[in-house]
Amino acid sequence: PGVNFGNADHPPVDLVFCLFGGREKPWEHVSLLARLARIARAPGALERLRACSTAEELHPRLLEEDRSHG
């Protein structure tokens, strides 16, 4: 189930991405966030990601979505 972040006007959040980057490339996260945004806007992509039940299943699905929407 999703998590309500305190704003009743928005649906609960059920997908969260966290990025960690190194000091040598502090701007790289912006490119990764743009790729995630392209995936999120693609029809059916979020539903396919939500259908994954483990991290082991989610990772290859995310890579597949990235290849098909990149």
Per-residue pLDDT of the chain (70 residues; tens, 9 = 90+): 788 887 888 888 888 888 888 888 888 888 888 999 999 999 999 999 999 999 899 999 999 999 997 6
Q: Quick one: pLDDT at residue 70?
A: 61
DSSP symbols for 29-46: HHHHHHHHHHHHHSTTHH
Only one residue has tokens 């483990």, namely: 54
Let me know if 65 is exposed, middle or buried by CB neighbors in 10 A (0-12, 13-18, 19+).
Answer: buried
In this prediction the pTM is 0.74
Cβ-based neighbours of 68, under 8 Å, separated by 6 or more:
42
Q: What's residue 44's pLDDT?
A: 95
